[in-house]
Structure 1
Amino acid sequence: MTSLLHAQEIGNNSIPVESQKDSVAPAVSPEQITQDLQVTDTIKQDSVKKPQFITDVVDYSAKDYMRLSPKENKIYLYNEAKIVYGDMTIEAGLIVIDNNKNEFFAYGIEDSLGEYIQKPIFTQANRKVEPDSLRFNFDTERALVYNSRTQEADFNVKGMVTKRENDSVYFMKNVRFTTSQDVDNPEYFFYARKIKFVPEKKIVTGLVNMYIADVPTPLGLPFGYFPLTDEETSGFIIPSFGDSQYGYNLQNGGYYFAISDYVDLLALGSYYTNGSYTLEFSSNYANRYKYRGNARVRFEKLFTSERGFPDFAERSSYNIQWSHSQDPKASPNSRFSASVNLGSSEYYAESINQANTGNYLNNELNSSVSYSKTFPGEPQVNLSLAARHSQNTRTNSVNLSLPTLQLSMSRIYPLAPATGSKKGFIENINLQYNLRAENQINTADSLFLTPQMFDDARLGAQHSIPLNTNFKLFKYLSVSTGTSYEETWVSRTFERSYDPVLDDVVIDTIKGFDSYRTYNFNTSLGTTLYGRKTFGKDKKIQAIRHVMRPSVSYNINPGFDRFYDQYIQESEDENGEIIEELVDYSRFDGTLYGAPGRNFSSSLGFSLSNTIEAKVRSKDSTAIEPEKITLLNNFSIGTSYNLAGDSLRLSPISLRGSIPVIKNKLDINFGGNLDIYALDNNNRRIDKLNIENGGSLFRLTAGTVNFGYSFSNKDFEGVEEEETDDMDNETYRNGGRPDDLFGTGMGEDGRLFDEDPFEGDEEENENGWYNYNIPWDVRVAYAMNYTNSARQNTVSAHSLMFNGNIEIAPKWKIGASTGYDLVNSGVTPTQLRFQRDLDSWLMSFSWVPFGPRKSWNFLIRIKASVLSDIKYEKRRDRDRTL
């Protein structure tokens, strides 16, 4: 940190300089001046030698002249004068050295127009002071300056009179301090009668008042304390005042704990006059080149109406977030990471401190805490241990995996040669080993974090050993074949029986270890075909290439009847007679990995992937090679035929692909399912071709089309977009979209826009005009889903969403997020936002004009973080019903 002190010597402290009769100043060297002073002082006034306080050599110079006045025992340095004393350097238009008092005086000088120029510049170590005038004593190292200007941390300080005690303490009188860049004409400032200023540490003031545009306000304090250290400092967070449906309130007040250089803690709370309150604890931690992360816990207790009234309601909700990432270089063979977002299902819908529409529209909360370890060697072993959580906020269901253990061993080629490449069927034989074990819990939101949630926990493990090989057939055909063995362990099974008294199936839980083993066989045959059509190098489209990758596979899955049992179930027919029916079941039904397949299957699969590319003449006239573009990307067709099935043997034909429209910017993705079988009167598939039933050859049972397109002014200026870290986006970390199609959440500092993408460019050209660069960006997303599996013939989802931002003028930014639902004929969640950079202040306005989350928020505050609590906020919260 550097301090800038500006001062002007006024009043009775000014030193008059007598005019000299000589029109030309004598040119004298510093050595000659020193020698003349020693010769002139021939009478010793005191026989006792006094101590010498000047401890270093004083070097001085000037551009116009250096004049010695033996009578006054003073030295006058004029025009670009300079003094170097130890680690101090003084530069000014005029410097007067008084050898009797061991002092110097520094002033500016007037130019031909009467302007005060060459103001003094005082530099010591890394501190720079620029006063109007300066008086400094070599013995005491004290100074007096007037109208001083000091820059420290985010503050610019201007004082009428400043007394420098030493290089670490200043006393100032009639002081203005502000975070505005222009200290002489600030947008606002605080006025104090007296202050104590300790550079890089603090400002302590007496009575202080706030002025806005030179107009005094009633805002004032009997004293003030402003820390200036670069280090984080503990302190109170001033709450904001307001009123809402919960009554008058104090929001987000608390205390910040600067625990160490590696970790901090922020404790915030809000209180409402109807008794509602919120608590929040957040912490950031980091260790450079090792790890970084943050954690946050929020709790809310909300009341509606008053106790005893019929509309009284109360609700408690909470939310826990934790994000941890490890530097890859910290430990190459192990990694720990965490991304946690869990809590009450209704938190994002009802929270009074959460204004992020994207979080509100997200129906899924997901968490993962994982540790992975790699054991190098041959074979390599990978170990992973993770705890996972998923929660549906609509159904209030919670799924947990506490924990999941995965162990895998890399491929082993036992018959491969010691040197050289592997060839043929035998040498390519390889095997692996995989283990997956987990403890899975399915519970409800109301039972989460209670002992009851563990009652129905399912524990199991699955071992897998695949054995494969591959080889070439007829040079162009790639063949792969193999088998897989699986063994499944469970901690409990379920026996079923029929109870005629209860007339229901009774399920008995059998605790204890049990297992079953399965295996299967598979083989596939594939190749790659190329087709090319050349039109000539003088054509715009010079050539087209078609790449096809057909593949045929065959799979056998044996039936495992031995793991199935039967029980007799009784029922009555229309005549009231008892009918006994045998029901097949497996004791492994309901276990973690389910029961093994009972039915034998022998299926033949087919897939075809297509890519169409073209070579076109480059738009760049200097380019030598043509440009390659993709016309159709990975258009795939796939289906399967069950040879062992007795009906409906052919599976629906799946179509998937994408059409690139603008390279790396816009791809239209599409997909669909085609079924050859017809439907009966109950809309169920029957073993009859649809064309035989009076329909077309295929029935389109499902279809989807979607695309997303984003562009900005940088696309037209040839500027590459900067990559951003999506994990910095709170909505994305919570499972939502990384873009702002559902609106932007206002940050803790009140910002609605990122700063970097909106920094305008104003360059002056040769004619003196300005070229204004107007930053803007637009993102459009389209999605359509069609469903016709049971003659619905409906478009289940059809929407168009839009998000745009523009800087209409320097420091003026506006944005909007909206969309239209074509199925329900309504506007999707909409947000309008506005932000104004007022130099020292920031003003933002966010508005949701309609819908269930209709609300607005206005904020104006000082931008500097040291004064961020000085703000005015007004909001209209959305209506809530607990």
Structure 2
Amino acid sequence: MQRRKTLLVFRWVPLWLMFMGITYSQTPDTLSLFPDTTSLAQDTVLNRPSGGIDSVVNYLAEDSIVFVFDSKNMKLFGSSDVKYKELALTSEIIEVNWNTNELQAYGVLDSTKVNKTDSLKARYTGTPVMKEGADVYEGWRIAYNFKTQKGRVTLGETKEDQGYYHGEQIKKVDKDMLFIANGFYTTCEYGHPHFYFYSPEMRVTVRDKIVARPIYLYIADVPIFALPFGVFPSQGGRRSGIIAPAFVDKGSRGTGLEHFGYYFALSDYTDLAIVGDWLTSGTWRVSPNFRYVKRYDFSGSLSGYYQRAIENEPRDANYVDRADYFANLTHNQTFNPTTRLDVNFTFASSENFRRALTLTEYLNQEITSNATLSKSWEGTNSSISVNINRRQNLINGSITNTLPSISYSHAQSYPFRFGRNNRGAEGEYAWYEMIGMSYGATGQRVDNRTRNADTGAFTVYQRQGINHTLSFNAAPKAGYFTISPYFNYNEKWYDKSLTIVGYDTTTGEPITADKSGFEAVRTFNTGVSMSTKLYGIMNSPIPGIVGFRHTVLPTLTYNYQPDFSDPKFGYYRTYKDKSGRERKFNKFQKEIYGGAPAGEQQALYFSVGNIFEMKTAAKDTSEKEQKYQLLNLNASLGYNFVADSMQLSDLSLSYRTNIGEYLGISGSSTYRFYEYDRNAKTRVNKYLFERGKGLVELTAFSLSLSTSLRGERKPAVTEQQLSDSIRVAEHQRNQSFSSYRGIYDRPEPDFSIPWSLSLSFNFSQSQENPTQKFRSANISGSLDFNLTENWKFTASSSYDLVAKQLAAPQINISRDLHCWLMNFSWTPLGVYSGYRFEIRVKAPQLQDIKVTKQNNDRL
């Protein structure tokens, strides 16, 4: 590699103070020194003399330390080490000449590398390394003049802000000014990097800026492009500056630049990024992103974009010229431990859905905005929240606003304990002390705006109401049983209801209108449930298995609810349809909390849960016995004693199990007891067994199978195996560079996992009408594996077994190019069919140095 180097920021501590102190710390009248034969002890600590340096100096040499008083030279041999305050200098050899006030630090030639063609520095061992705080500086030779405070680093290098800086000659002319000859910058940690920015002349103002002229980008030592000059900030932390663009090819939208703009570091708590896109078709886009944060108090952002999208040519039949917008506001604030505000507002034009650039955007057919202020009171079980909600359908343009929704909740408490939370002397509460109470209230105002597809005008529909719920329950023990009586009361308040003003002459259905005035809907239900647990245990004769346990969880519940459609309650009225049949009309059917339930209930519900478990023996005394759940099986049904027909409800079954850690199985099924009349296309009040058709008939069934397997992750490289510079680079590379990272990029593949496989099968069938069966079945899966250490293949797809269609297949091939990454993605079918090829730098701060090619602008 030619010696093209870039920047090294070197902060010098006044070393002359350190070494000047050495001359005052020696006592020549007590030692007889001979330049060629005498060496001092290897480790020496110098105490501060009067008028000398202001701190202790420690120096060490594994081989020897030689003082030559005639020439006033000090020389340290063999892994020499000098420490002063936060500064540490290590080198194979360190020389100090007190006549010229110069320091020289350098390594020794490694005979095993003499014939190699690597760089000059690579042929030496023990080259100097200087550390100051967290900064590390390396070079082939370091020279410094104590008096003038000027210095030079030959073949110097360091790391700063996730990048590596090298310089062939670095000259320090004063405290804050460096001149660098033949320097380069790269994010590749190799001594011979795969790419770098090179400049023959650089001037560095420490912690201010870097001026380079000219500047070249080299890839594999081949110059790619050049700029006449470059000015770069060198301050630490966040700083304002240009956001580099990415060159893209968007097919029908043309070629151009994406993500070009400016970043403003406004303060320690706020920043702003404004980026834009421009394509040759005339498409343009502006995207601001403002952020603010105060630790432990609040944070938020305001972002969005406005764009004009143009595709194809005006003379083309598929010419498109549309404008759309998108805006998002977030704010999260904790006022105190019991009060919090969360805001997430999103606004978008309907064209945003139609012109979606990605599959995720395309599938997001509804936008929801929320703002919630919540407050709780410690020790009271009470809380309140105020919520504002907005839902926007991007397909038909309808908007639903909830302005506002106020909810109050008082969690379960025990009002008859009178502040006594401890159990009685016998260890139990009195029966009345076990009665629990909970209360909740919610008030809403809903504004529903529906757009007319022909005229574009909105039809506004408003409703508001308040809903109260009050519950009492208890759970006393009666031997092996838990008996839980309950009573639930519900009251809804409305400011209007529906009234019948006429009937449709064709259908006979009622024509309704709103009737203003306060209305209350009061309903209740009560009942009692009883539950217990039954255990069955069996010892296992199988070696390694201790035994099996079967847990049965039966629950029996009786529930009573009056028929609130009875005229005495006043919630329903009756009318006759065109055929003369009497029907009931619910005058609260359009209110936000609905009306009162119709039909009396005196129902008995039975459910049973079954849990099958296995316990395995410990392999040795250091391990514990392990429990595994083999199967979870549940069943439920009910019987309504006062129903006029078909009192028995459907039988529902569900199950779930795992076969080891590899296969998960779950499913459900529903069965009916009554016959289905195929002519009337409805159930009739006749049991199946009365018709000789068995006890039950399947009406719905579902089954899901899933598995996920992967190879063992490659062990992480140990600290001893990884150099400091590489370890720091890998750690920082895995961190998020900023919220703007990867806006247009795919995530990096994980090469540490050699292979992984996931498969799922889903099947469902519904057959309320035995002659019509509705089925859905699909298989989906993904597979990825490393072809070699640096090649990864990934494929994912799903197959509809009913329609016999392949859905959303995608193939991706990735190549790890060390500091670069290559991705090739291919989607053979669907709206998003096409390919995308990309080669880019891994480092996030250089994310826009990439080459992309694609034939679908939505990829």
1:433 is matched with which residue: 435, 439, 443? 439
CA, structure 1 residues 747+704, in 2 after alignment: closer, same or farther (shift >3 Å)?
farther
Determine the C-alpha separation between the residues in 2 that align with 1:592 and 1:238: 52
Determine the C-alpha separation between the residues in 1 that align with 2:852 and 2:617: 58
Corresponding residue number in structure 2 for 1:674: 671
Determine the C-alpha separation between the residues in 2 that align with 1:139 and 1:544: 85
Q: Deviations over 1:31-55 (max 9, x none)?
A: xxxxxxxxxxxxxxxxxxxxx9999
Corresponding residue number in structure 1 for 2:467: 462
Alignment of 1:171-320 (within 5 A): 171-183=179-191, 185-217=192-224, 219-241=225-247, 242-290=249-297, 296-306=303-313, 311-320=318-327
CA, structure 1 residues 405+215, in 2 after alignment: closer, same or farther (shift >3 Å)?
same
Corresponding residue number in structure 2 for 1:648: 646
Contact in 2 for aligned 1:498/1:568 (Cα 8 Å): no
Offset, 1:674 = 0.5
Contact in 1 for aligned 2:338/2:375 (Cα 8 Å): yes
Offset, 1:439 = 1.9
The one-letter amino acid paired with 2:423 is: G
Alignment of 1:457-856 (within 5 A): 457-473=462-478, 475-498=479-502, 505-536=510-541, 540=545, 542-559=547-564, 560-561=566-567, 562-564=569-571, 566=573, 584-617=584-617, 620=619, 627-633=626-632, 635-663=633-661, 666-680=663-677, 681-714=679-712, 747-748=742-743, 750-753=745-748, 758-759=751-752, 775-856=754-835
Determine the C-alpha separation between the residues in 2 that align with 1:786 and 1:544: 33
The one-letter amino acid paired with 1:671 is: S
Contact in 2 for aligned 1:494/1:507 (Cα 8 Å): yes
Contact in 2 for aligned 1:498/1:567 (Cα 8 Å): no
CA, structure 1 residues 591+469, in 2 after alignment: closer, same or farther (shift >3 Å)?
same
What secondary structure, in the 3-state scheme, does the structure 2 residue paired with 1:830 have? strand
Q: Deviations over 1:784-828 (max 9, x none)?
A: 111101225535221111123334433433322212111111112
CA, structure 1 residues 122+313, in 2 after alignment: closer, same or farther (shift >3 Å)?
closer
Q: Deviations over 1:370-410 (max 9, x none)?
A: 33221123x42111222345566667655443332211223
Q: Deviations over 1:712-744 (max 9, x none)?
A: 2249999xxxxxxxxx9x9xxxxxxxxxxxxxx
Offset, 1:155 = 3.2
Contact in 2 for aligned 1:496/1:567 (Cα 8 Å): no
CA, structure 1 residues 363+122, in 2 after alignment: closer, same or farther (shift >3 Å)?
closer
The one-letter amino acid paired with 2:254 is: G
Paired positions, count? 779
CA, structure 1 residues 290+657, in 2 after alignment: closer, same or farther (shift >3 Å)?
farther
Contact in 1 for aligned 2:274/2:288 (Cα 8 Å): yes
Offset, 1:462 = 0.8
The one-letter amino acid paired with 2:605 is: G
Determine the C-alpha separation between the residues in 2 that align with 1:163 and 1:504: 94
Offset, 1:234 = 2.1
Corresponding residue number in structure 2 for 1:739: none
Moved more, 313-322 or 234-243: 313-322
What secondary structure, in the 3-state scheme, does the structure 1 residue paired with 2:432 have? helix
Contact in 1 for aligned 2:356/2:362 (Cα 8 Å): no
Contact in 1 for aligned 2:615/2:625 (Cα 8 Å): yes
Q: Normalising by structure 2, report the TM-score.
A: 0.80
Determine the C-alpha separation between the residues in 2 that align with 1:125 and 1:673: 70
Gaps of 5+ in 1: 7-21, 31-51, 574-578, 719-727, 731-745, 760-773
The one-letter amino acid paired with 1:800 is: I
Contact in 2 for aligned 1:5/1:129 (Cα 8 Å): no
Contact in 1 for aligned 2:654/2:667 (Cα 8 Å): yes
CA, structure 1 residues 491+314, in 2 after alignment: closer, same or farther (shift >3 Å)?
farther
Determine the C-alpha separation between the residues in 2 that align with 1:624 and 1:95: 57
1:27 is matched with which residue: 38, 58, 61? 38
Determine the C-alpha separation between the residues in 1 that align with 2:684 and 2:498: 34
Offset, 1:876 = 1.7
Determine the C-alpha separation between the residues in 2 that align with 1:695 and 1:359: 51
Q: Deviations over 1:690-711 (max 9, x none)?
A: 2334533211111111133223
Offset, 1:430 = 3.1
CA, structure 1 residues 792+440, in 2 after alignment: closer, same or farther (shift >3 Å)?
farther
The one-letter amino acid paired with 1:778 is: L
Q: Deviations over 1:815-855 (max 9, x none)?
A: 22212111111112122223333222222222212222102
Determine the C-alpha separation between the residues in 2 that align with 1:520 and 1:59: 85
Corresponding residue number in structure 1 for 2:26: none
Corresponding residue number in structure 2 for 1:411: 412
The one-letter amino acid paired with 2:185 is: F
Corresponding residue number in structure 1 for 2:157: 149
Determine the C-alpha separation between the residues in 1 that align with 2:504 and 2:800: 53
CA, structure 1 residues 632+124, in 2 after alignment: closer, same or farther (shift >3 Å)?
closer
Corresponding residue number in structure 2 for 1:373: 375
Determine the C-alpha separation between the residues in 2 that align with 1:500 and 1:821: 45
What secondary structure, in the 3-state scheme, does the structure 1 residue paired with 2:808 have? coil
Determine the C-alpha separation between the residues in 1 that align with 2:153 and 2:766: 82
Offset, 1:675 = 0.6
CA, structure 1 residues 674+57, in 2 after alignment: closer, same or farther (shift >3 Å)?
closer
**Quick one: percent identity of the two aligned structures?**
25
Moved more, 110-119 or 368-377: 110-119
Offset, 1:222 = 0.7
Determine the C-alpha separation between the residues in 2 that align with 1:243 and 1:624: 59
CA, structure 1 residues 262+790, in 2 after alignment: closer, same or farther (shift >3 Å)?
farther
The one-letter amino acid paired with 1:480 is: S
Determine the C-alpha separation between the residues in 2 that align with 1:701 and 1:445: 39
Q: Deviations over 1:472-519 (max 9, x none)?
A: 44x233222232222211132222221688987442223343322222
Determine the C-alpha separation between the residues in 2 that align with 1:325 and 1:808: 45
Gaps of 5+ in 2: 1-6, 13-32, 42-50, 115-122, 717-733
Offset, 1:221 = 0.5
Offset, 1:646 = 1.2
Corresponding residue number in structure 2 for 1:170: 178
Offset, 1:324 = 6.1
The one-letter amino acid paired with 1:249 is: G
Q: Normalising by structure 1, report the TM-score.
A: 0.78
Determine the C-alpha separation between the residues in 1 that align with 2:169 and 2:138: 14
What secondary structure, in the 3-state scheme, does the structure 1 residue paired with 2:149 have? coil
Determine the C-alpha separation between the residues in 2 that align with 1:322 and 1:446: 29
The one-letter amino acid paired with 2:198 is: Y
Corresponding residue number in structure 2 for 1:770: none
Matched, 1:382 2:366: no
Determine the C-alpha separation between the residues in 1 that align with 2:544 and 2:66: 82
What secondary structure, in the 3-state scheme, does the structure 1 residue paired with 2:845 have? helix
What secondary structure, in the 3-state scheme, does the structure 1 residue paired with 2:596 have? coil
The one-letter amino acid paired with 1:250 is: L
